[in-house]
A and B are shown apart, each in its own frame.
Chain A
Amino acid sequence: MAGISFQPSELVKLCFLYVGASTMDRIVTKRNLFLFIVYSAAICGCLALMNDFGTALIFFVAFLVIAFLRSGSFATVTLACAATGFAGVLAVRFRPHILRRFATWGHAWEYASAGGYQQTRAMMCIASGGLFGLGAGNGWLKYVFAADTDLVFAFLCEEWGLIIGLSAVAVIVILAVFTVRSAKVGRSSFYTIAACAAVAILTIQTILNVFGTMDLLPLTGVTFPFLSNGGSSMLASWGLIAFLKAADTRPERQLRGPHRKGRGGGAA
């Protein structure tokens, strides 16, 4: 529609978690498992056809987390990784442009005017911002394509400083710790599996976005949760947070830490 765009794959993440976690819950059967694998393969296939391999990788990681949580088998995870590696080789064979991205990877400064254009400008702007930034609106990176989505980490660092950029990443890490700690008291395995997969999605998105910007990984065009511009991405991020919160059944006093016996003189 004019003026409005929508990214279906963002909302599919929520559906994927719902289907994956419910399939792998107590009602797991061979039929359910088969259906989930088919569902996952269909999503990744569609994304591959759309050349969105970054998002396909996100779904794959979520699939791995769900599969491991239910099975507890590293062999299953290894097998899935091997199969995906094989699919990756095939993808490179039929989509040579992916290989070109890998050629630039780690050598952004050598291809500063070609494949490394965005990464070099991002690093330059991060350095210009220093630890405390140049101030809101004083950045230059906004004139580079996808600065507010794929390069948003550098955008943030340039205007607000590296410390704020690192803090944004730390928030994701804290969410991951929160989720793992609350897994013990999850309402059911459905909620726990969904929450762990949700936090895995948030983390892998952050990894792909930040590391891609800094040339530690190929730039895949994945959004940074809650920071990147885009309504679909924002909706999906809040949806993922809902899974995290739903899994946590601890009352507020438990979150403050263990009770100290003998303090306060007994029951009121």
Chain B
Amino acid sequence: MNKLAKRAWFALALAGVLLLGMGVIVVRYFIDSPDWVTFQNSPHVYTDGVMNSGKIVDRGGTVVLDATNGKSYADSASLRRSMLHLLGDREGNITPFLLQEYGSELVGFDRINGTYSTGKREGQMALTVSADVQRTALAALDGRKGTVGVYNYKTGEILCAVSSPTYDPDDVPDVEGNPETYEGVYVNRFLACYLYAWLRLQARHGCGRARRDPGYPLPHVHLRGQRRHRRRDHPVQRRARHAEL
């Protein structure tokens, strides 16, 4: 029987595999769950394909998107046009970059409570961009095709990221009928320029080196300011995590 008892450990090896796998699952949960929860088809986060909670405000506190009850853009048409390539449109033609990048925070997700909410935990995210600067930059472009990007080179904070041509998501024009006016309207030229410069640097100096060497001119930039929860009296101080565009 002793011999048999020793061999019985073979059965325990399977339990070891199970434990090892569960460890992997837990690690993946803590790393990837913010991405899992904002999956496009999640009924916990989206209603009719639209993120159903959270607010985005500019650095001055102006609401640029309120997703609490459906997707509501800013009141000002010029602001809606200037923010289109950051917030996306209703039809899904333009990728809502901000919602993709910070969606899990907007819906009030955290790894402890998931999306469980009492209706008071919708996230509110403050951007580093300024609504006034966005509008001014778009006006300065005056219908020309291009982009305006302004950032603080010391902190990486983006102050302005406008792409043109653009349109009002609450008053969608006939894009197909005016191909010259709206040529490349679905492209975020700011991101495209940034990525192009990034790839050029990588090609010139070797993959990954530009990221490590602070001497290169391409900075880490980010659009997110401090995150706030409505039910708290004071903004929650959180460690700023740079989002790489």
Chain A contacts to B: CB under 8 angstroms: 61, 65, 68-69, 72, 112, 120-121, 123-135, 140, 161-162, 166, 169, 172-173, 176-177, 179-180, 183-186, 189, 192-193, 196-197, 199-200, 203-204, 206-207, 210-211, 214, 216
Interface size class of B (residues with CB under 8 A): 35 or more
A131 in complex: contacting residue of B14, B17, B112, CB < 8 Å: B112
A176 in complex: contacting residue of B7, B14, B25, CB < 8 Å: B14
Query: In this assembly, does B216 line the interface, its C-beta being within 8 Å of a C-beta of chain A?
Result: no
The answer to whether A179 and B29 touch across the interface, beta carbons within 8 angstroms, is no
- Would you list which residues of chain B between 68 and 118 have a CB under 8 Å from chain A? 109-116
A161 surroundings in chain B (CB, below 8 A): 114
Q: Which of B36-44, B139-147, B148-156, B177-185 contacts A (4 or more CB under 8 A)?
A: B36-44
Query: In this assembly, does B236 line the interface, its C-beta being within 8 Å of a C-beta of chain A?
Result: no
Query: In this assembly, does B136 line the interface, its C-beta being within 8 Å of a C-beta of chain A?
Result: no
| A–B complex contacts, Cβ < 8 Å, 23 sampled | A69-B4, A123-B39, A124-B37, A124-B44, A126-B33, A127-B33, A127-B34, A128-B45, A129-B114, A130-B110, A130-B114, A132-B113, A132-B114, A172-B15, A173-B19, A180-B9, A183-B5, A192-B8, A203-B14, A203-B18, A207-B14, A207-B17, A211-B21
Is chain B's interface secondary structure helix, strand, loop, or mixed overall? helix
The answer to whether A189 and B19 touch across the interface, beta carbons within 8 angstroms, is no
A172 surroundings in chain B (CB, below 8 A): 15, 18
The answer to whether A134 and B12 touch across the interface, beta carbons within 8 angstroms, is no
The complex places the Cα of A218 from the Cα of B3 at a distance, in Å, of 36
Query: In this assembly, does B240 line the interface, its C-beta being within 8 Å of a C-beta of chain A?
Result: no
The answer to whether A128 and B115 touch across the interface, beta carbons within 8 angstroms, is yes
Q: Which residue of the partner chain B has the closest CB to A131? A: B112
Distance in angstroms from B195 CB to nearest chain A CB is: 21
The answer to whether A180 and B37 touch across the interface, beta carbons within 8 angstroms, is no
The answer to whether A176 and B37 touch across the interface, beta carbons within 8 angstroms, is no
Q: Which residue of the partner chain A has the closest CB to B28? A: A214
Query: In this assembly, does B172 line the interface, its C-beta being within 8 Å of a C-beta of chain A?
Result: no
Query: Which A-B residue pairs are the 5 nearest by beta carbons?
Result: A130-B114, A176-B15, A183-B8, A127-B33, A127-B36
The complex places the Cα of A150 from the Cα of B221 at a distance, in Å, of 44
Distance in angstroms from A181 CB to nearest chain B CB is: 9
The complex places the Cα of A199 from the Cα of B10 at a distance, in Å, of 11
The answer to whether B41 and A124 touch across the interface, beta carbons within 8 angstroms, is yes
Q: Which residue of the partner chain B has the closest CB to A217? A: B21
The answer to whether A124 and B36 touch across the interface, beta carbons within 8 angstroms, is yes
| Contacts A127-B115, A140-B44 known; 17 new A-B pairs at CB < 8 A | A65-B11, A124-B37, A127-B36, A129-B116, A131-B113, A134-B44, A162-B29, A166-B26, A169-B18, A169-B22, A172-B18, A173-B15, A192-B4, A192-B5, A199-B15, A200-B11, A216-B21
Q: Which residue of the partner chain A has the closest CB to B44? A: A128
Given A121-B41, A216-B25, check contact A204 B14 (CB 8 Å). yes
B8 in complex: contacting residue of A173, A180, A206, CB < 8 Å: A180
The complex places the Cα of A177 from the Cα of B7 at a distance, in Å, of 13
Distance in angstroms from A121 CB to nearest chain B CB is: 7
The answer to whether A176 and B11 touch across the interface, beta carbons within 8 angstroms, is yes
The complex places the Cα of A173 from the Cα of B28 at a distance, in Å, of 21
B237 surroundings in chain A (CB, below 8 A): none
B36 in complex: contacting residue of A72, A123, A140, A162, CB < 8 Å: A123
Q: Which residue of the partner chain A has the closest CB to B42? A: A124
B114 surroundings in chain A (CB, below 8 A): 127-134, 161
B1 surroundings in chain A (CB, below 8 A): 183-186, 189, 192
The complex places the Cα of A183 from the Cα of B12 at a distance, in Å, of 12
A132 surroundings in chain B (CB, below 8 A): 112-114, 116
